[in-house]
Amino acid sequence: MLGRLNHVAIAVPDLEAASAIYRDTLGARLTQPQGLPEHGVTVVFIDVGNTKIELLEPLGAQSPIDAFLAKNPSGGIHHICYEVPDILAARDRLKEQGARILGDGQPKIGAHGKPVLFLHPKDFSGTLIELEQE
């Protein structure tokens, strides 16, 4: 079911400062910030060749990233995103096996313009998993 690792997401309290560290200290090339109001975040992607790093900052008062940053004020790894060939088939198979899908269980459009779902971290060794349609 799982395809390649699409990205590792790092929640940050200050997207501009985090972007500067990756750009100026590590020499990374970054995308322009992209607001995703439906997900409550602003993101920047860093292409590292075989995958991407996603920096995400809270967007708006109801951002799910706020709670994460309250526990981790300096930021940290928030989730891991894997590609799947068929997101609905993956969702259905996971639900049959007892995995919990976050939200209403329906895919939303993610930062890459493709359907995404999030899986409950308690079902995956404490790791929030994002699935993205290939």
For each of the domains in the chain, give its residue range(s) and CATH number, in order of start: 5-133 (3.10.180.10)
- Whole-number pLDDT of residue 66: 93
Active site residue 130: yes
- Whole-number pLDDT of residue 27: 95
Q: Catalytic residue, from 54, 57, 83, 130: name it.
A: 130
pLDDT in tens, the chain (134 residues): 889 999 999 999 999 999 999 999 999 999 999 999 989 999 999 999 999 999 999 998 789 899 999 999 999 999 999 999 999 999 999 999 999 999 999 999 999 999 999 999 999 999 999 999 99
116 contacts 109 by C-beta, under 8 angstroms: yes
| Full-model pTM | 0.93
